[in-house]
Amino acid sequence: MSDDPFVIAGVEFPSRLILGTGGAPSMRVVDEVIAASGTAMCTVAMRRISPGTSGSLIDVLERRGVRILPNTAGCRTAQEAVRTAELAREALSTDWVKLEVVADERTLLPDAVELLDAAETLVAQGFTVLPYTNDDPVLARRLQQAGCVAVMPLGSPIGSGLGILNPHNIELIVAEARVPVILDAGIGTASDAALAMELGCAAVLLASSVTRAQHPAAMATAVAAAVTAGRLARLAGRIPKRHHAQASSPTEGMAVL
């Protein structure tokens, strides 16, 4: 139990919680939730620079010593995503990318075809690709075959807080995965994060559940503890589910009273 390293593409991370910085009302809250969560990697989005844009986000992330994982959020096509990844690499000096290619703004669900296309292109260009995908075990398999270093299936739509709608699919993905499976999107609260780990995920990536909670720092602490709890429970070997009861007190030695 003591030795349970979490490694992506040869890099070991001290925390199995990856934090999205989106949705936080202020940079101070970003700073607080990073500290409270103990995360070692945070996602950022790439957007047009505006006069107002201070570089403070990067400052905060660097001061906290967390790895920066740029995403391609908002991209609808493989080309947009690839170019956004190239710009992120240039701006942030990292070839790691959380690849997102969504089909529309209402569901923000991944577009399987464009996603796979972008993944293949980016891997060919030497990127270290962590794709945000749906919970289809077959697409997860293809993304691994394309050379992605992790697969990040959703539990439910981004920001919905609906938790893990189809645990069976997550189990199927985990069962055959040769890279870390990271539950990405849909987490609403601590028990969802614990369940993700119990299903065999190597880590959890979440943003809204923490940044939009009434008390972000407290929720950051909560989900961090839940990820630890779920991982330990997975390794500890839970009791089987039984249709009937099983006494936890001795059935013999009862007094006659």
Partner 1 sequence: MKLTVNGAPRELDDATTLARLLDDQPARGVAAAVDGEVVPRAEWAGFRLAEGQAVEVLTAVQGG
| 14 binding partner (options partner 1, a copy of itself, none; Cβ < 5 to 8 Å by kind) | none
| 120 binding partner (options partner 1, a copy of itself, none; Cβ < 5 to 8 Å by kind) | none
| Own/partner long-range contacts of 139-148 (Cβ < 8 Å, ≥24 apart) | 139/112, 139/115, 140/173, 140/177, 140/181, 141/176, 142/116, 143/115, 143/116, 143/119, 144/177, 144/178, 144/179, 146/116, 146/119, 146/120, 147/119, 147/120, 147/123, 148/99, 148/119, 148/123, 148/179
Helix residue ranges per DSSP H, 93-207: 112-124, 137-145, 167-176, 190-198
Nearer to a copy of itself, 93 or 251 (CB): 251
Check if 241 is active-site: no
Distances (CA, A) of 40 to 18, 105, 160, 174: 7, 29, 24, 23
| 38 binding partner (options a copy of itself, partner 1, none; Cβ < 5 to 8 Å by kind) | none
| 57 binding partner (options partner 1, a copy of itself, none; Cβ < 5 to 8 Å by kind) | partner 1
Q: Shortest gap between Cβ of 4 and partner 1 (angstroms)? A: 27
Nearer to partner 1, 40 or 68 (CB): 68
**Contact present, 187 and 166 (Cβ < 8 Å):** no
Catalytic residue among 98, 142, 231, 234: 98
Q: Shortest gap between Cβ of 6 and a copy of itself (angstroms)? A: 16
Which residues here bind partner 1, judged by CB under 8 A?
Answer: 20-24, 30, 43-50, 53, 55, 57-58, 68, 70-71, 73, 83-84, 86-92, 158-159, 185, 207-208, 247-250, 253, 255-257
Q: Shortest gap between Cβ of 126 and partner 1 (angstroms)? A: 14
Q: Shortest gap between Cβ of 34 and a copy of itself (angstroms)? A: 15
81 SS3 class: helix
Question: Which active-site residues does the annotation give?
Answer: 98
